[in-house]
Structure 1
Amino acid sequence: MTSHKNTQTMKPATAAKKLGVYLEATPAEFREGVVSRSELNALQADPPEWLRELRRNGPHPRPVVAARLGISIAGLARGGVTEALTTEQIDAIKQENPEWLQKERSTQADVRKEAARIKERNAERAARREQEQSGA
């Protein structure tokens, strides 16, 4: 019996998300086709100039904009940012450091602290359970 391997493909939107780029800014041939797993791996390993340019200057999708500003995607929406931004626009927002950005960065810092606290608490509980089980 011969094994017959299908090539795994994905929609351009999925590939753009995995590459961290804004789909609408990609070349037409990328948006209009399908992307195989091997093509995606090749794009990640040796990005063509258009991909390097998009990653460097944008426009960037919201997850990338949020990460570069150090806030959540929901924080972007609360700040009124709903569209893709270029690196230049992101840098301008950082430079301006509006009140909403300061508030969202503070919120994000609190969320990270709480996540770390919960992780530490869960690790302590797991260690206690393990100790109780080995001692029983």
Structure 2
Amino acid sequence: MSRPNAQSMKPATAAKKLDVYLPATPAEFQENAITRDEVAALLADPPQWLKDLRKNGPHPKNLVAAKLGVSISGLARGGVVDALTTEQIDALLAEKPDWLVAERESYQAVLAEERRVKALRAEKAR
């Protein structure tokens, strides 16, 4: 990786752009600044470690929430505080614990309300 400069970013920022959980990345990635070009290269031709992380995890909370169909707050209310692997996410989806069912229903209701408000605003703008 490269030295910090105006075109580089912290590893945490690069991990967010790559949608990966930073503590699961290789040490070299975590310890060095990454340039925009390097991030673009990783996106264009991901190395095996990146492919494995994206496929198997552990995944960052935003991706865990999306895969479970809940909000990040819903994860916290359900007691999920750590990153989860794809296998753990699949197990939760199969088990359907009460908190997950409730949070999914709640999240869908919030999304429906957001769509209703957006449509109402669009109608008023006409």
Separation in 2 of the partners of 1:86 and 1:34?
26
Q: Which residue of 1 aligns with 2:72?
A: 73
Uncovered stretches (5+) of structure 2, i.e. residues with no partner: none
Separation in 1 of the partners of 2:41 and 2:71?
30
CA shift for structure 1 position 33: 0.3
Separation in 2 of the partners of 1:107 and 1:10?
36
Q: How many residues align?
A: 122
TM-score, normalised by the number of residues in structure 2: 0.94
Separation in 2 of the partners of 1:58 and 1:65?
10
Q: Which residue of 2 aligns with 1:108?
A: 107
- Percent identity, aligned pairs only, is 61
Task: Give 3-state SS (helix, strand or coil) of 2:100's partner.
Answer: helix
- The one-letter amino acid of 1:101's match is L
CA shift for structure 1 position 107: 0.6
Q: Which residue of 2 aligns with 1:22?
A: 21
Q: Which residue of 2 aligns with 1:35?
A: 34
Separation in 1 of the partners of 2:10 and 2:67?
26
Q: Deviations 1:27-72 (Å, cap 9, x if unpaired)?
A: 0000000010111111111111000000000011111110110100
CA shift for structure 1 position 7: 4.9
Task: Give 3-state SS (helix, strand or coil) of 1:80's partner.
Answer: coil
Separation in 2 of the partners of 1:120 and 1:64?
27
Instruction: Tell whether 2:123 aligns with 1:87.
Output: no
Q: RMSD value over aligned CA atoms?
A: 0.9
Uncovered stretches (5+) of structure 1, i.e. residues with no partner: 1-5, 128-136
TM-score, normalised by the number of residues in structure 1: 0.88
Task: Give 3-state SS (helix, strand or coil) of 1:44's partner.
Answer: helix
CA shift for structure 1 position 112: 0.7
